[in-house]
């Protein structure tokens, strides 16, 4: 359980100031499986985070607060698909870095195993690190936008 313990958050009059690492860790947890398989929640007022996963015993995680659905202070961390960080992100990358491969990559995404084939293609072309850099940067941007839209003030915004 220590992986999910964070130092207390600084509070200001608007609410909690939390670090980007807390949001990013919660996002990674919420995206460890299929949508809604694992969920993470942050309390905008206190900065506390809560985790629940269908794949883990309830003893392994403290679980979600009982009033999570009624209390407006709680906000569910989004899944990457909610932020267009799945297939749409792939095609943003293709448009910018290898537009001549559009048809080939579009064909990859017409069946299961698309990300595996896409990453193998990028590795063959020497572009895998460029993809990871692009994906990480866009994920940071999307999470920061999401935080702003949901009234979560980030203490240490990444560059």
- Count of domains for the chain: 2
What pLDDT, on a 0 to 100 scale, did the predictor assign at position 52?
87
In this structure, are 40 and 108 located in the same domain?
no
How long a stretch of residues is the chain?
A: 159
The tens digit of pLDDT for each residue in 96-107 reads 999 999 999 999
Domain range for residue 30?
A: 2-78
In this structure, are 45 and 95 located in the same domain?
no
C-alpha closest to that of 34 among 87, 75, 79: 79
pLDDT bracket for residue 159 (50, 70, 90):
low
In this structure, are 67 and 17 located in the same domain?
yes
In this structure, are 63 and 106 located in the same domain?
no
Q: Using the predicted structure, report yes or no on whether residue 125 has a pLDDT greater than 60.
A: yes
The tens digit of pLDDT for each residue in 78-117 reads 999 999 999 999 999 999 999 999 999 999 999 999 999 9
């Amino acid at each position: 359980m220590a992986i999910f313990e964070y130092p207390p958050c600084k509070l200001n009059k608007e609410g909690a100031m939390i670090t980007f690492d807390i949001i990013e860790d919660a996002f990674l947890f919420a995206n460890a499986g299929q949508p809604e398989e694992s969920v993470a929640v942050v309390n905008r007022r206190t900065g506390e985070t809560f985790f629940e996963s269908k794949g883990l015993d309830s003893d392994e995680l403290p679980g979600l607060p009982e009033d999570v659905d009624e209390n407006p202070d709680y906000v569910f961390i989004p899944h990457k698909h909610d932020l267009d960080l799945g297939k749409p992100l792939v095609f943003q990358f293709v448009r910018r870095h290898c537009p001549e491969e559009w048809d080939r990559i579009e064909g990859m995404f017409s069946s299961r195993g698309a990300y595996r084939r896409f990453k193998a293609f990028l590795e063959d072309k020497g572009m895998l690190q460029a993809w990871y850099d692009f994906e990480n940067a866009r994920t940071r941007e999307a999470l920061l936008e999401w935080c702003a839209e949901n009234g979560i003030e980030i203490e240490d915004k990444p560059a």
